[in-house]
Structure 1
Amino acid sequence: MAVITISRQYASGGNEIALRVCERLGYRIFDKRLMVRAAAVLGLSEQEIFDFAETSYKAKSFLERVFGGSQDVAQVRLWKEDASGTRSVQELALSESAALQLVQFAIRDAYQVGNVVIVGRGGQALLADQPDVLHVRVVAPEEERIQRVKEELRQARQAYKADIEVRRDAQDRIAMRDAASAEYLSRFYNIRWDDPQHYHMVLNTGKLDVEEAADLILLAVEHLPERAVA
């Protein structure tokens, strides 16, 4: 019934580690399917779901932080049916607050079921006080992260660009993604994303490969207290 949260720097290998842990433990990864499950409990349809994670959050500018309120983060389409049975599509704006509450409900629901790995989304903050949850942070040296992103960009673009230009793009993407993750945790949970006190362990993929990191996580999970049965 254990739960694992994984916070990761962009391009640190955290996603790959999460998937490997799930394979070895037979756990589920927290993804759109679990969001759909939570939405169904709330009486929502799949069309009303927006997974408001760090990956969909953009770091705000100084002016946005000072003057901006809870803004809309997505447009979702809903089918509406009138008294005559005529169906139409309605566009509905989804606010930050509503999207965040849905994600939080889904995380709590996944925790109750157990045997799940939650990557990002503030899981380490939302489940901080649960003794049967293991909190892991994954980091990597900046140069290794740059090389990983450079390779991803080359494959995605399928075109030659000067190495210095690809490197600059990779650095910009890393800085943007890390800044968004840090701001997400600071804004919505008032914690520092990189504070090691929020984690049981910090794994450096510059020192460990995916399999070695998974080994350490599995060893730590074995020492978590069992959840009390109600």
Structure 2
Amino acid sequence: MPIVTVSRQFGAGGSELAARVAEALGWPLLDNALLDEVAARLGTSREAVAARDERRPSLAARLADALALGATDAEPSVTAALPGRDAESVAPPPAEEQVLAVTQRVIVEAAARGPVVVVGRGAQAALAARADALHVLCCAPRDARIARVAAREGLPLGAAARRVDDVDRERLTLVRKRWGRELLDPSHYDLCLNSARLGLAEAATLVVETARARL
């Protein structure tokens, strides 16, 4: 089944680009809905998954992961049995590796079911071997991305710049660590589109035309 993956630099408008492409093609969009599916499979909240989504965990989170992975099966049941506490209220957040593994499984299953547009989450790496996949990178100059994030999130330019740099670094680290690939290596993509120069409407048209011709 044909697939379009949209990787993106933070603030380049990749999610909006993917939504436009999915609507034009009439295909399902796997973006924020992916968080809901991963959360449901892990039996946790969407917020807990979002905290690990495409982000390098903090030192505290990494230590918590190590403790969770090293804990025995008996420990959670003991804690859950404390008076006034139930299992859900004390359930630890999912470890990074759990979130990544389940996320990859959801992406692969969605691709197997039918045409789909997938946003980020290393989909271009997880589906790299698929001959029926069109891999797209949505990028833009840093200044343009900072301006977009500042306007979208109501942030001063300095705070928006820090956010752009932090999220970019987290995504690069995740893809490098999980798949041994460079997120911004153009050789991993069929189309690399500068949304600041093209605009999202024209960029989406290019993706749709390429998808129809190739897939």
TM-score normalised by length of structure 2: 0.78
Q: Is 1:19 paired with 2:9?
A: no
User: Residues 221 and 193 from structure 1, CA distance in 2 versus in 1: closer, same or farther, beyond 3 angstroms?
Assistant: same
Cα distance in structure 1, aligned partners of 2:186 and 2:212? 21
- The match for 1:189 among 151, 155, 179 is 179
Q: Which residue of 2 aligns with 1:117?
A: 117
Secondary structure of 1:191's match? Answer: coil
Cα distance in structure 1, aligned partners of 2:168 and 2:67? 22
User: Residues 169 and 127 from structure 1, CA distance in 2 versus in 1: closer, same or farther, beyond 3 angstroms?
Assistant: same
Tell me by how many angstroms 1:5 deviates.
Answer: 0.6
Give ranges in structure 1 of 5+ residues lacking alignment.
74-86, 158-165, 226-230
Tell me by how many angstroms 1:45 deviates.
Answer: 6.6
Retained in 2: the 8 A contact 1:72–1:93?
Answer: no
Q: Which residue of 2 aligns with 1:206?
A: 196
Q: Which residue of 2 aligns with 1:94?
A: 94
Q: Which residue of 2 aligns with 1:222?
A: 212
Give ranges in structure 2 of 5+ residues lacking alignment.
69-84
Secondary structure of 2:17's match? Answer: helix
Retained in 2: the 8 A contact 1:36–1:46?
Answer: no
Tell me by how many angstroms 1:34 deviates.
Answer: 4.8
Corresponding residue pairs, total: 195
Secondary structure of 1:202's match? Answer: strand
Tell me by how many angstroms 1:37 deviates.
Answer: 5.5
Following superposition, which runs of at least 4 residues in structure 1 exceed 6 angstroms of deviation?
A: none
User: Residues 168 and 201 from structure 1, CA distance in 2 versus in 1: closer, same or farther, beyond 3 angstroms?
Assistant: same
Q: Is 1:28 paired with 2:18?
A: no
Retained in 1: the 8 A contact 2:22–2:117?
Answer: yes
TM-score normalised by length of structure 1: 0.74
Cα distance in structure 2, aligned partners of 1:206 and 1:182? 21
Identity of aligned residues (%): 31
Cα distance in structure 2, aligned partners of 1:111 and 1:135? 13
Q: Is 1:169 paired with 2:159?
A: yes
Tell me by how many angstroms 1:6 deviates.
Answer: 0.6
Retained in 2: the 8 A contact 1:39–1:102?
Answer: no
Q: Please identify which structure carries the higher helix content.
A: 2
